[in-house]
C-alpha cells in the first residue's frame, strides 16, 4: 500500500466535517502494517506542523488531529514497509512554508538523484536532508519557484505555480526516459499552508472531491445526534484529494483528476489549470 492525500478548507474548525466521509482513507489497522507515514499541516496563525514515523507497528489515524484541531490545509503520505528508513526519507518534505508528497518513483533512484541534484542551485542542494528521489524532485520544484522569483513570496500568480509544477514533472520525465524508464504512475501534492496544488500522470490515479457547503452534515449527526442546529454548513468550502497505486478514486465517490490538468484550491474556490 502506498497513498498520498491532501485537503484544504476555508474554515479549519469544520475541516473534519468535510472529510468525515473519507476518514477511512486516512487510517489503517495494525494488522496491515508495519507502516511508514508522515503528515504536514497548517493551523491558525500560520503554525506549520510536520509529523513523521519511519516504522510504525501499530495502527494510526490521521483523521484524529483534523477532528481535534482547526486545520485548514494538509498533506500526508502512508505506506506499508518491511524495515525502518531514515526519518529524513519520509514524506512530506518541508522547505519553509512548503510541504510536498509524491506517489511513485523510478527503479534507478541513484542515477536519477544524481541528475536531479546537478540541476539545483547550491543553496537548495544544501537543504536536502535525506537520500530519496522524491526529496530531490521536491527541490527541483523549489528551484523553478526560485527561477520565477516566487520561492519566498507570500502570494504569486497561479500560472507561475502551474508552470513550476509542470516543468518539474517534465524534467523528471526526461531524466526517466534517459534512464530507460517510461512514464511511471505518479502524482504530486503540495501546500504552502494557504493553498493546495496537485497533479497526476494518469487519469485513474488521483481523485478529488470539492465540498461546496454541507447540508445534513454526517459528522454532526454522528457526534451530536439530538442537535439538529449543527447540521448545515452552507459557507464551508473544502477539497479532498487522494492517490493510491492500488485503488480507483471513483470507488470512494471521488472524481478522477484529468492527467492534463493541475488542480488548485486557494481556500475559496477550486480551479483547474492547464499544464503549462
pLDDT in tens, 64-123: 999 999 999 999 999 988 878 899 999 999 999 999 999 988 878 899 999 999 999 999
pLDDT of residue 227: 65
pTM of the model: 0.94
Phi/psi at 56 (5° precision)? -115, 115
Tell me, rounded to whole angstroms, the distance of Cα 52 from its chain centroid: 14
> CB–CB of 18/214 below 8 Å?
yes
Q: Residue with C-alpha cell 514515523?
A: 53
Q: Indicate whether 228 pLDDT > 60.
A: no
Helices (runs of H) and strands (runs of E) counted in the chain? 7, 15
Distance CA 269, CA 38 (A): 27
Which residues lie across from 28 on neighbouring strands? Answer: 60
Q: Does the pLDDT at position 229 exceed 70?
A: no
Which stretches of the chain are DSSP H helices?
A: 15-19, 63-68, 109-118, 122-125, 133-147, 158-178, 218-223
Structural domains of the chain ordered from first start: 2-274 (3.60.20.10)
Mean pLDDT, the chain, whole residue set: 92
Flag the least confident range among 21-25, 95-99, 145-149, 152-156: 152-156
Side-chain half-sphere exposure of 118, counting CA atoms within 13 A: 9
Q: What percent of the chain clears pLDDT 70, i.e. is strictly above it?
A: 98
What is the side-by-side strand order in the sheet with 196-200?
A: 93-95, 98-103, 187-191, 196-200, 261-265, 270-274
Amino acid at each position: 500500500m502506498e497513498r498520498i492525500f491532501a485537503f484544504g478548507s476555508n474554515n479549519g474548525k469544520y475541516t473534519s466535517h468535510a472529510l468525515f466521509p473519507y476518514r477511512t482513507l486516512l487510517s489503517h489497522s495494525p494488522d496491515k502494517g508495519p507502516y511508514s507515514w508522515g503528515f504536514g499541516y497548517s493551523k491558525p496563525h500560520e503554525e506549520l506542523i510536520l509529523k513523521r514515523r519511519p516504522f510504525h507497528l501499530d495502527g494510526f489515524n490521521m483523521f484524529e488531529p483534523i477532528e481535534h484541531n482547526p486545520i485548514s490545509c494538509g498533506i500526508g503520505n502512508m505506506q506499508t514497509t518491511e524495515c525502518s528508513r531514515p526519518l529524513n526519507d519520509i514524506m512530506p518534505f518541508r522547505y519553509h512554508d512548503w510541504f510536498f508528497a509524491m506517489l511513485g518513483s523510478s527503479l534507478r533512484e541513484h542515477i536519477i538523484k544524481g541528475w536531479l541534484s546537478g540541476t539545483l542551485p547550491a543553496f537548495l542542494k544544501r537543504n536536502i536532508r535525506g537520500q530519496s528521489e522524491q526529496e530531490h524532485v521536491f527541490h527541483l520544484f523549489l528551484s523553478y519557484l526560485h527561477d520565477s522569483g516566487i520561492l519566498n513570496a507570500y502570494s504569486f500568480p497561479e500560472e507561475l505555480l502551474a508552470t513550476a509544477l509542470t516543468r518539474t514533472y517534465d524534467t523528471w520525465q526526461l531524466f526517466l526516459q534517459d534512464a530507460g524508464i517510461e512514464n511511471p504512475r505518479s502524482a504530486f501534492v503540495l501546500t504552502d499552508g494557504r493553498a493546495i496544488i496537485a497533479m497526476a500522470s494518469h487519469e485513474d490515479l488521483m481523485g478529488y472531491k470539492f465540498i461546496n457547503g454541507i447540508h445534513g452534515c454526517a459528522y454532526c449527526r454522528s457526534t451530536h445526534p439530538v442537535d439538529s442546529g449543527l447540521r448545515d454548513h452552507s459557507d464551508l468550502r473544502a477539497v479532498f484529494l487522494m492517490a493510491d497505486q492500488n485503488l480507483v478514486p471513483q470507488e470512494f465517490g471521488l472524481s478522477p483528476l484529468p492527467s492534463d490538468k493541475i488542480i488548485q484550491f486557494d481556500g475559496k474556490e477550486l480551479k483547474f489549470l492547464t499544464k503549462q
